[in-house]
A and B are shown apart, each in its own frame.
Chain A
Amino acid sequence: SQTIHQWPATLVQPVGSPLSLECTVEGTSNPNLYWYRQAAGRGLQLLFYSVGIGQISSEVPQNLSASRPQDRQFILSSKKLLLSDSGFYLCAWSQDSEAFFGQGTRLTVV
């Protein structure tokens, strides 16, 4: 069966520090991968999606970047975090007619 792992679950980082969130998928190959952010009390905002290794589409301009170095690995990064980067970050994958979310990372930038 397919599973999705996302870590860490919780992260507190100072302003200006770098960020790296990782998401891996098991049990499938060539999935579509997504990074979403959800600010407190707000809806899901699509940040990036990827249809294959090295193929990244950015949905909104921001302080973040994404990379897909392997088929089932999706990484969200930032060189310098801003206070406004705080939120709940969710990785998701889809294939055919299925879509699943990781458990999320709650990022607080202080």
Chain B
Amino acid sequence: RKEVEQDPGPFNVPEGATVAFNCTYSNSASQSFFWYRQDCRKEPKLLMSVYSSGNEDGRFTAQLNRASQYISLLIRDSKLSDSATYLCVVIPSGGYQKVTFGTGTKLQVIP
């Protein structure tokens, strides 16, 4: 099983729709979780951290389910500018803390 798995998509959604991505991880000792956004031909950039209690940033909501070992990203009222690839990032606790990036889920918001 891969350390971090994401559905590559693409997810094609109309403007204004709500869309959700999941990311599963295999290491139960994972401690820190993030969502990154990558625009076409650019480097990934931090979108938001994922906290155990769940957290919201405007139209974006991130959640963590430790029991099932997945994190999710919910985007409400999708905008054309949300079109990008979304990568999840998992960092284990202790040791060398090797960061694992998911391969990304591509979102295309359609007018």
Binding site for B on A (CB under 8 A): 32, 34, 36, 42-46, 49, 51, 88, 90, 92, 94-97, 99-104, 106
How many A-B pairs with Cβ below 8 Å?
56
Known: A94-B91, A99-B34, A100-B46. Is A44-B101 also a contact (CB below 8 A)? yes
Q: What are the interface flags for B56-94 relative to A under an 8 Å C-beta threshold, 1 for contact and 0 otherwise? A: 000000000000000000000000000001010101000
Chain A residues lying within 8 Å of B99, measured Cβ to Cβ, are 32, 34, 92, 94, 99
B88 to chain A, nearest CB (A): 11
Contact-residue size bin, chain B (C-beta under 8 Å from the other chain): 20 to 34
Q: Given A32-B96, A97-B91, check contact A102 B101 (CB 8 Å).
A: no
> Roughly how many angstroms separate A29 CA and B104 CA in the complex, as a whole number?
29
Other-chain contact of B43, A32, A43, A49, A101 (Cβ < 8 Å): A101
**Interface contact A49-B103, CB-CB below 8 Å:** no
B interface with A by C-beta (< 8 Å): 6, 8, 31-32, 34, 41-46, 85, 87, 89, 91, 96-104
Q: Contact: B43 with A103, CB < 8 Å? A: yes
Complexed CA–CA distance, A103 and B41 (Å): 10
**Distance between B55 CB and nearest chain A CB, rounded to angstroms:** 14
Known: A43-B103, A44-B87, A46-B101. Contact between A101 and B8, CB under 8 A?
Answer: no
B103 touching A94, Cβ below 8 Å: no
Cα separation A101 to B104 with both chains bound (whole Å):
15
**Which of B6, B46, B91, B98 meets A51, CB within 8 Å?**
B98
Cβ 8 A contact of B32, one of A34, A44, A88, A97: A97
A42 nearest in chain B by CB position = B103
Collect the chain B residues with CB atoms within 8 Å of residue A42's CB.
103
Chain A neighbourhood of B103, CB < 8 A: 42-45
B12: shortest Cβ distance to chain A, in Å?
15
Which of B31, B91, B102 contacts A99, CB < 8 Å?
A: B91
